[in-house]
Amino acid sequence: MHYTTSGQGPVVILIHGLFGDLDNLKALGKELETDYTVVRVDVPNHGASPHISAMNYQTLADNMADFIGQLCSKHGCNNVTLVGHSMGGKIAMATALNYPQWVNKLVVADIAPVSYQSRHDAVFAALESMPVNELTDRRQALTHMQASSIDDGTAQFLLKSLTRTATGFAWKMNLSGLKSSYPDIIAWPEFGAVYEGPCLFVRGGDSDYITAEHRQAIMSQFPNVKAKTIAGTGHWLHAQKANIFNRIVKDFITS
């Protein structure tokens, strides 16, 4: 797994969401690195991490546990704090449920331990129809996204995964692998486990990713839970109100 390390102290791993990369939670990393060893990872099939054929939360948790073991032998720690947004939050939860001995604290940003309906069809269509081999600059890519009815904020986020090559452009992410794994990415398996450690769920006040109907699913799997809502934010709460989000997360980790 590709990752960056900064700071010093207890280890905190930051895990981004679908279509993202390790820069998504960079501002949070800056906030934490004065007191913690911050490890930002590229999830498999994203950024500079290896492309794999199948992504599911059991496999991703197994990979993360192996990675934590390597980090702890390197940094002399017994466990880490996991912070994940969206899909990254599901990876963090799956790791905590399956390998609680490795997880000291858990922070989940705007996702619940439940299965969701498909909501990325338009995004996949826009990405798959992008003529990457014919692009000469990034403005053409943005125009294509806008013509595909993708809003500017989402388009700019997605185009961070577009990289220039010797012959034009290419996606850093494994688009076909993400498409084929998408049913598993929006699903949530029945792990039959409970994570008793301290955890914080942070939701966007305008987001529908965590709602009242998810309360039982959260409480039954993560009974030692605190919850915070950031008003005036949607699913991208860590970017929309970064200062508030970063402070909430740091206060919980430090407490």
Tell me which residues are annotated as active site: 86, 235
Radius of gyration of the chain (CA): 18
Cα 250 to Cα 5, 26, 47, 122, 232, distances in angstroms: 17, 14, 25, 35, 20
Positive or negative, the CA dihedral 203, 250, 97, 15 is: positive
Burial of 54 from C-beta contacts in 10 A (0-12 / 13-18 / 19+): exposed
Rounded Cα distance between 222 and 198, Å, is 8
Q: Identify the three-state secondary structure at position 228.
A: strand
Rounded Cα distance between 26 and 32, Å, is 10
Rounded Cα distance between 235 and 238, Å, is 8
